[in-house]
Amino acid sequence: MTNVETAVYVDGSVVRDDLPPDEAAALARERAGFAWIALIDVDDAEIQTRAAELGMSPIAVKEALRPHQRSIFERYGDHAFVVLQPAHYDDASETVRCDEIDVFLARHLIVTVTRSDRIDLDELRGRLQSHPQLLRRGPGSVMWVLAELVTTGYRAVLDGVENDIDEIEDQLFGDGPDVSRRIFDLQREVIDLAHATSPLPDVLTRLGTTLTDAAAGAEPAGWDDVRGRAQYVAERVQSMRHTLDDALTIHATLVNQRLDEKMADLTVVQVRQNEQVKKISSWAAIGFAPTFVASVYGMNFTFMPELAQPWGYPMALGLMVLLSAGLYGIFKHNDWL
């Protein structure tokens, strides 16, 4: 639901939460506090209108109107523009869903633009307002809580992805036909996650410099922990990418190995079939020899002189035996029998 929420914080406490954005910003400057203006699921026209009222950089506004795949940080004079990418993991479909938080940051003002109901700003306000000492640090306190929310939220995402990678590793040595497809799909999700997390350590480092407490001359408390967690997340995501690349290589190797084994088995079968064909052909040829002789003498020609001789019949039988024995010897010598 479209909504514009404002709150003015002075000395760690909320002093007004019912003012229009421009009046909230003016009151924050007047009383040396800061205003948090949350634009929730607003359209582009609303963003442009509010940004103009609050004096935001037109270039930063243009950036906020387009979707991003990466966490970014940009400076525009005294203002900064930050994009954070909180992520959620749907284990059933094995998909990573990255939302987007756009943040306009100034000395007495922070404007957040969210377009997803998965980002609970009420929870963030509750966490902030329970720590007045944190709110005294100005807009950096909101920025810290947002960064804390995003980086801690990656833990559940990484655990879900890692669990699916473990399942894939177990499937690699099975015969599942969908393993390669699953690896490809999970690789795509991890790449999307890498787009969101890889720039995050640098973004938070530059943010820490921007949010340096002018009075104390130091970064906001806890910022180093958030930056270290972001570095850990980025390294863990890169490790997952390498693991999936290795899994795909191993799977391709195993598939090729199985194909080679099947080809080897097929070759053995073909060799055995060839041996059987040779034996059958040999015996067929041996059996054909007496049939050939008998068929010649069965043609009933009138002039066949040997038919009238007493040795004609033994000669025909001997010829049959001789041809069969000769063929048997030849085939045996060639290892066909």
In tens, the pLDDT along 36-63 reads: 999 988 888 888 888 888 888 888 888 8
Residues for the chain: how many in total? Answer: 337
Contact 190, 241 (CB under 8 A): yes
- Residue 39 to residue 80: CA distance in whole angstroms: 17
Question: Strands 72-76 and 34-40, how do they pair?
Answer: unpaired
Does the pLDDT value for residue 219 go beyond 60?
A: no
**How far out from the chain centre does Cα 163 lie?**
13
Provide the pLDDT for residue 212: 64
pLDDT tens, residue by residue, 282-330: 777 777 778 877 777 777 666 677 766 777 777 777 777 887 777 777 7
Amino acid at 231: Q
Which residue do the tokens 């879900």 mark? 160
* 334-to-132, 282, 293, 330, 331 alpha-carbon distances in Å: 99, 11, 25, 6, 5
The pTM of this model reads 0.70
Question: Strands 109-114 and 13-16, how do they pair?
Answer: unpaired
* 318-to-85, 289, 303, 329 alpha-carbon distances in Å: 97, 12, 21, 16
- Residue 331 to residue 278: CA distance in whole angstroms: 9
User: Chain-wide mean pLDDT for the chain?
Assistant: 82
Residue 265 pLDDT level (bands cut at 50, 70, 90): confident
Q: Residues with Cβ < 8 Å from 40, sequence gap 6 or more?
A: 1, 2, 3, 4, 5, 114, 121
Average pLDDT over residues 164-171: 82
- Residue 103 to residue 296: CA distance in whole angstroms: 105
Residue 180 pLDDT level (bands cut at 50, 70, 90): confident
Provide the pLDDT for residue 176: 64
Provide the pLDDT for residue 231: 92
